[in-house]
Structures are given as structure tokens and as C-alpha cells.
Homo-oligomer: A and B are copies of this chain.
């Protein structure tokens, strides 16, 4: 019974891929030597090394990660853990920026990124055994709320992790990477002041998040440094959504009709503020200057384009990955604060 062409092809396709043993046979060396070449080629003679490399290319050999993991006791992958109410983070324009940057940074280290969401208690319960069993070597943790229980789980599991942004309401030292929120806020308010604005309001972010807190601190600190008295009527607090930006702006305009500038703690909220201002028949920046925060994609797309503070997402992501790898290799925790940058467009 002769095979038909399709049958032969089908069998060839499902044929077991070459193993280290096939490579060893082709190269005329032992399994151990092939493995040593795979590990970087230390303690291998140039000749053996070349023979192995040639065999690998010829056979199209790719290491079996499961087998490697089993012996090295390492998963060979890292989790991108979103421990946030899903809607909130997924609708955040910064999220995709971060996700992309982390994927790229990890790919450079040949580490697949496993995306895990754990916004609810039920999800956290489901994912905890997975993490405790060290099915990943480490975790990039994205969560902005005070007292996230996920952090306790990760600590208990002894799993290396690095947070994006300063985790609030945690005791002890934790690794995290963050932008310099306070300094960024101060730079924006200074910019508004230096361009001649005198009644500067602010729309802060949620006060249980580091960005919400620190950017408001920065706003107050800078005004104080310039001898400007506090006026709480100039402060509104949103939830980072576009709708809340719009509502806060309406509120501020009602309370302080003669305000001439507003520093908004996120671009998305700033975009909402823009709508409220225009709806009120005021012009940006002529009547009211608007400064955002993030330099997310919405900033450039806004009308007018937003002057904002750029968060260095690429650097934040790369640093998170670097810190995580260091921790996986046994290093202790570290805090990394990265500077922001004022991006001047048309809104202020």
C-alpha cells in the first residue's frame, strides 16, 4: 500500500521535530556537548562547536522548552499581570503602549509574555495557584489601587515581581518603576505660570492611586513655591475617565468662572475637559490653557492638540523587565524613578 502525496506530506508534518540526540548524531558528538553549545558554548572546542551549529541549522533544531524547564526549574516565561478592574485599565490608552513595550523588551530576552488579568477576587483566586506553582518566573504587575491583595499573594509565593508605579498601602520594600509624577506636575504648572496664567485650576486623578496623589501634590507644591495661596475651589478630582474630566471641568467653570488655565492629571480627562470648555463657549488656549499628562495617543489627536507631560513608557517597560530579570537572578528589590518631559503643543 503506497502512500499518496498528501498522506506523505501529512506524516512529514506531524513527524516529531529533531531532538538534541539527532543533532548529536549529525555532529558526531555527545548529547552533553550539544547542550553545552546551546548554553553558550563554554568548554567546547571550536571544531565541535561548528559541527553542532551546522547540524542545528541543517536539521532546523529548536530546543524543547518543556524539557528544559523541567530540569532547570524555570518556566522560561514572564507574566504581564493586570490586577485592575478590567474596564478601567483596558480603556486606558496607556495600557496598549505599556503592553507593546513590555512584549518587545521581553522578546529581546527570548521570554514569552503571558497576559493574565486578575481584576476581581474570583480571578485572583483562580490565578494564585498558577503563580504559586511558579508557572512563570516573574511578574510585571500593573495595578494602581491602594492595598492590592495580589501583592500579598506574590510575596507569599516567593515569586519575583516588579510593580508599575508606586504601590500604595504596602509595607516593606517592593520593586517598582515609576515616572516622576510630582516633578512632572510641577513642570506643567510652572509652564502655565510662565506663560502668564494666573488662576490655575487642576483636575486630579483618583486619590487612591499614586498618580492621582502625586500630581496633585506637585500642583500644590509649585504654587506654594511661587507664593500663591491655596484655593480649594480650584481643585476637582476625577477618575481618569474622559467623562469625569468633562464633569470636573464643568464643575470648575461653575465655581470659578474666571480661571484661565487647568492642569489635568491625564490626557483622557483633559480631552473631556476640552469638550466642556468648548461647550461653555470658551476657547483653548486663548481663554483657558489646558495641560494634560501622559502624552498618550489622545493627546496628539485632541482639538487642539494637548500640551502634556510625557511618561517614558518605553523606558519604564524596559526598566521593569531589567529589574525583574535581575530579581529572578537573585538580586534584591529596587526603586527606579524616571524623569518626564514637557511636550508643548497648542493647548497651553
Contacts and interface: CB of A to CB of B under 8 A. Distances in A.
Interface string A74-88: 010100100000100
Given A112-B116, A115-B113, A90 B100 contact: yes
A100 B113 contact: no
Contact of A242 (B66, B69, B103, B301): B301
Interface string A10-26: 00011001000000000
A1 interface: no
Interface string A55-77: 00000101111110110000101
Interface stretch (A124-132, A163-171, A187-195): A124-132
B103 A115 contact: yes
A114 B117 contact: no
Interface stretch (A91-99, A141-149, A254-262, A317-325): A91-99
Contacts of A103: 115-117
B80 A91 contact: no
A107 interface: yes
A95 B103 CA distance: 15
Nearest to A157: B13
B301 A135 contact: no
Name the residue in A129, A135, A243 with the highest tally of chain B Cβ atoms < 10 Å from its Cβ: A135
A114 B77 contact: yes
Range of interface residues on A (Cβ < 8 Å)? 35 or more
A301 B63 CA distance: 48
A91 B297 contact: yes
A210 to B, nearest CB: 23
Contact of A66 (B70, B96, B114, B303): B70
A74 to B, nearest CB: 9
B112 A14 contact: no
A99 B115 contact: yes
A132 B61 CA distance: 10
A100 B116 CA distance: 9
Contacts of A86: 100
A275 interface: yes
A158 interface: yes
Contact of A96 (B13, B90, B130, B158): B90
B64 A70 contact: yes
A282 B238 CA distance: 32
Contacts of A69: 66
A134 interface: yes
A133 interface: yes
A104 interface: yes
Nearest to A95: B96
Given A65-B66, A66-B70, A99-B115, 8 more contacts: A62-B129, A65-B133, A66-B69, A70-B70, A112-B116, A114-B114, A114-B115, A243-B301
Q: Which 5 A-B pairs have the closest CB atoms?
A: A66-B69, A62-B133, A13-B158, A90-B96, A66-B70
Interface of A: 13-14, 17, 60, 62-67, 69-70, 75, 77, 80, 86, 90-91, 95-97, 99-100, 103-104, 107, 112-117, 123, 126, 129-130, 132-135, 158, 242-243, 275, 297, 301, 303
10 contacts: A17-B133, A64-B70, A65-B133, A66-B69, A66-B75, A90-B99, A103-B117, A112-B114, A112-B135, A113-B114
